[in-house]
């Protein structure tokens, strides 16, 4: 019996292993029952990304919903996750099922449930759905295969989402600056969206990897430094100033500065906090996950804004977006949204805001970061991923759960257990160890005020995780 658990951002599993049509039907049946307990005549959106068989899994989810007398709006093509979130809110739907494994490798697929507010389902919701799944499994539930095609409607959600996005970006600034842009869709569902909107605004952009490839070119569809080699080459060969990228479902972003230098999400988000407060003059604070840089705290302090810390998972930040309490919410894994936008990560929005910031300030991102450091002090951070195996898994879990008062000669002044184990030291540096909610890895985060000290913390972290 497969264990279907909703992690940081939905349920993910290897295709044909645990991610099967039978299990997708099972999860969808449970979601349908959950929704119908709250509305006897619900309408749900069903979206999907560009992964292997995603459109077929999406179609099967719609069939299961229709067999429950639930109206299903089935997307006519692969769609970005933020477009799904926007459509839920804009069309006042009861939620959405999205077939996507986001940035995971090509052998994975996933199922994500978003509630009627457009946000990823919170743990209290997914816990109830998981219990429903277990009950269905115990009763040996099988899909009755009696869908009602009259309740399944094909929809194109892209145009309305893009029209809304166009109201939140100053395209005139980008167009006037004539930056020289390139965009890498990484064979994901952002293709035709980000670049299409730029072209619609008469802004030239070179686009890469817009065709569907379920192997994602042999790489993870994650806009990380090591995955953007071709984008770097295009930028250098064409002397472009800015490179943009989105992941498999376009909820995460990646940025290359002029010369092809990768700018880490923590740095991009911190600069955007500074820029948005100055350029928009919106009220409110800033939200970040426990794993995200404290450089954001320094920028917020500069502008006398509140900082709200959450567990890892954008669903927690989304709550503050819905309340209108923050200017921006961001996480170090390249996710952000802003005031007045959807309570979900939007990689397309992030890329466009960064382009606007570069155009408006007429400075490279590296120069802008140097300027920011001159105002609030230098902060350096990185993350390591350590794959879990049976030999270390139980040991690492035990270590994360234990009290730690000293870390390689450093006195721990605070233990933060919002998510995993975060150790804060008296010089302002910190480390965090937590198990991933989307992959079988332990994530180790470190931050310090110098690159040399950060390197030490990273090495200490490797030793701490693997030692007996």
Fold of the CATH domain 11-157: Alpha-D-Glucose-1,6-Bisphosphate; Chain A, domain 3 (3.40.120)
CATH annotation of 380-466: 3.30.310.50
Splitting the chain (468 residues) into consecutive groups of 10 residues, what average pLDDT does each group show?
Answer: 85 96 97 96 98 98 98 98 98 98 95 97 96 96 91 98 98 96 98 97 97 95 96 97 98 97 98 98 97 98 98 94 97 97 98 98 98 97 82 75 88 94 94 79 92 94 75
Residue 359: per-residue pLDDT = 98
Quickly count: other Cβ atoms within 10 Å of residue 225's Cβ: 14
Contact 23/4 with Cβ under 8 angstroms?
yes
CA–CA separation, 232 and 444 (whole Å): 27
CA 332, chain centre distance (Å)? 9
Contact 344/85 with Cβ under 8 angstroms?
yes
Residue 144: per-residue pLDDT = 86
Residue 37: per-residue pLDDT = 96
CA–CA separation, 171 and 353 (whole Å): 10
In the chain, CATH 3.30.310.50 covers 380-466
Show Cβ contacts of residue 322 under 8 Å, excluding neighbours closer than 6 positions: 117, 119, 343
Closest CA to 393 of 431, 437, 432, 435: 435
Closest CA to 100 of 50, 56, 65: 50
CA–CA separation, 45 and 87 (whole Å): 8
Show Cβ contacts of residue 67 under 8 Å, excluding neighbours closer than 6 positions: 143, 144, 145, 146, 147, 148
Structure tokens of 168? 């939140």
In the chain, CATH 3.40.120.10 covers 11-157, 168-376
CA–CA separation, 455 and 124 (whole Å): 39
Sheet holding 406-407, edge to edge: 380-387, 441-448, 430-435, 421-425, 410-416, 406-407
Provide the 8-state DSSP code for 253: E
pTM: 0.95
Provide the 8-state DSSP code for 122: P
Strand partners, 414: 424
Residue 339: per-residue pLDDT = 97
Residue 29: per-residue pLDDT = 97
Residue 270, phi then psi, degrees to nearest 5: -60, -45
Closest CA to 343 of 49, 81, 117: 117
Contact 21/57 with Cβ under 8 angstroms?
yes
* Alpha-carbon distance values, 240 to 204, 206, 384, 445 (Å): 11, 10, 30, 32
Residue 222, phi then psi, degrees to nearest 5: -120, 130
Fold of the CATH domain 168-376: Alpha-D-Glucose-1,6-Bisphosphate; Chain A, domain 3 (3.40.120)
CA 194, chain centre distance (Å)? 16
């Amino acid at each position: 019996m497969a264990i279907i658990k909703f992690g940081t951002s939905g349920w993910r599993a290897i295709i044909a292993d645990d991610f099967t049509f039978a299990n997708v039907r099972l999860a969808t049946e449970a979601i349908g029952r959950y929704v119908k307990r709250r509305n006897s005549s619900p309408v749900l959106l069903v979206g999907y990304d560009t992964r292997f068989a995603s459109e077929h899994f999406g179609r099967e989810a719609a069939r299961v919903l229709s067999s429950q007398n639930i109206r299903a709006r089935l997307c006519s093509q692969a769609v970005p996750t933020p477009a799904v979130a926007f459509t839920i809110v804009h069309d006042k739907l009861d939620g959405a099922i999205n077939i996507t494994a986001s940035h995971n490798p090509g052998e994975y697929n996933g199922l994500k449930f978003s509630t009627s507010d457009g946000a990823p389902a919170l743990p209290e919701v997914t816990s109830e759905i998981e219990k429903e799944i277990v009950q269905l499994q115990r009763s040996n539930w099988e899909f009755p295969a009696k869908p009602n095609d009259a309740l399944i409607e094909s929809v194109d959600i892209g145009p309305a989402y893009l029209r809304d996005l166009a109201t939140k970006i100053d395209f005139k600034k980008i167009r006037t600056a004539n930056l020289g842009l390139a965009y890498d869709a990484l064979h994901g569902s952002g293709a035709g969206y980000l670049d299409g909107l730029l072209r619609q605004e008469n802004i030239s952009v070179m686009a890469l990897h817009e065709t569907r490839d379920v192997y994602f070119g042999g790489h993870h569809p994650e806009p990380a430094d090591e995955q953007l080699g071709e984008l770097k080459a295009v930028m250098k060969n064409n002397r472009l100033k800015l490179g943009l990228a989105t992941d498999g479902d376009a909820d995460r972003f990646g940025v290359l500065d002029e010369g092809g230098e990768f700018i880490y999400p923590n740095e991009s988000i911190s600069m955007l906090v500074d820029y948005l407060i100055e350029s928009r003059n919106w009220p409110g604070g800033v939200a970040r996950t426990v794993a995200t840089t404290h450089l954001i705290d320094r920028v917020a302090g500069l502008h006398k804004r509140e900082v709200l810390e959450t567990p890892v998972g954008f669903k927690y930040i989304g709550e503050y977006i819905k309340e209108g309490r923050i200017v921006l919410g961001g996480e170090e894994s390249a996710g952000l949204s802003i005031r007045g936008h959807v309570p979900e990560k939007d990689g397309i929005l992030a890329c466009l805001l960064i382009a606007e910031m570069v155009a408006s300030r007429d400075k490279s991102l590296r120069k802008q970061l140097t300027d920011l450091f001159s105002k609030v002090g230098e902060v350096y951070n990185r993350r390591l991923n350590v794959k879990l195996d049976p030999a270390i898994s139980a040991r690492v879990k035990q270590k994360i759960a234990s009290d730690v008062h000293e870390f390689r000669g450093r006195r721990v002044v605070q233990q933060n257990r919002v998510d995993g184990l975060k150790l804060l030291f008296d010089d302002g540096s910190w480390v965090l160890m937590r198990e991933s909610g989307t992959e079988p890895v332990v994530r180790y985060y470190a931050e310090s005020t110098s690159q040399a000290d950060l390197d030490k913390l990273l090495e200490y972290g490797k030793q701490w995780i693997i030692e007996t």
